[in-house]
């Protein structure tokens, strides 16, 4: 009887270990979840969107420390989730849209009367997000991340084209945000009214999946 009791206890202990190990693994969840940290996994194929964080602007300034350039109050990005592995790991997205409302944009560059349009070229881009919150955006092979800015001047509309090899940013869970700070673009073409370098800064929040906030795990 004693031998059977010990065997029964050993079997129960083994079953308990297996039972508790499975939920522990499942609880880890994916890199991207919605509703909360560790919440429901974001599905592959889901579309994520985010406007500028309330009260902020997206800026393209001529220097990292200056305030001369273009500022916009309305901008939005759209991305499709292409992979979302278990955390810790790296999720990937296809950035299919990144728009700026020109009517919300202003410029304080001498000789510039206003902003006609800002267009992000060469989409879609690839974005990766790690469990640590590191965000990287890269263009398709053989291309660059390109921004075309059209400015209204006394002499008519001038077109400024800026390029960057990639962008890096951070994802934050406190407000479901992604932030870019002083990401450098170099002028590819344009008149002398187009500054030589453009430094892009913006914070987008909240990032949502069908209206539900997205978090990084």
Lowest mean pLDDT among 23-37, 162-176, 192-206: 23-37
Residue 169 pLDDT exceeds 50: yes
pLDDT tens track for 51-105: 999 999 999 999 999 999 999 999 999 999 999 999 999 999 999 999 999 999 9
* Percent of the chain residues past pLDDT 70, beyond the cut: 87
pLDDT band at 18 (very low <50, low <70, confident <90, very high): very low
Instruction: Please return the burial class of 100, using the count of CB atoms within 10 Å of its CB with bins 0-12, 13-18 and 19+.
Output: buried
Residue 120 pLDDT exceeds 70: yes
Residue 132 pLDDT exceeds 50: yes
Two tokens, residue 140: 């398709």
pLDDT of residue 203: 98
> What gap in Å lies between CA 79 and CA 47, rounded to an integer?
6
Instruction: Please tell me whether residue 203 adopts helix, strand or coil conformation.
Output: strand
């Amino acid at each position: 009887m004693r031998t059977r009791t010990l065997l029964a206890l050993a079997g129960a202990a083994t079953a308990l270990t297996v039972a508790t190990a499975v939920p522990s693994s499942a609880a880890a969840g994916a890199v991207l979840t919605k509703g909360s940290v560790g919440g429901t996994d974001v599905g592959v194929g889901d579309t994520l969107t985010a406007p500028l964080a309330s009260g902020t602007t997206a800026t393209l300034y001529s220097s990292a420390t200056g305030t001369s350039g273009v500022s916009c109050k309305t901008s939005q990005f759209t991305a499709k989730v292409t992979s979302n592995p278990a955390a810790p790991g790296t999720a990937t997205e296809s950035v299919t849209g990144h728009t700026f409302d020109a009517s919300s944009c202003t410029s304080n560059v001498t000789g510039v009367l206003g902003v006609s349009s800002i267009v992000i070229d060469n989409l879609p881009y690839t974005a990766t997000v790690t469990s640590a919150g590191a965000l990287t955006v890269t263009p398709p092979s053989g291309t660059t991340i390109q921004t075309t800015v059209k400015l209204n001047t006394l002499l008519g509309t001038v077109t400024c084209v800026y390029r960057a090899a990639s962008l890096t940013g951070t994802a934050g869970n406190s407000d479901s945000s992604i932030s870019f700070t002083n990401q450098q673009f170099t002028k590819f073409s344009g008149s002398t009214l187009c500054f030589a370098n453009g430094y892009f800064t913006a914070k987008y929040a909240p990032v949502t999946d069908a209206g539900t906030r997205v978090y990084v795990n």
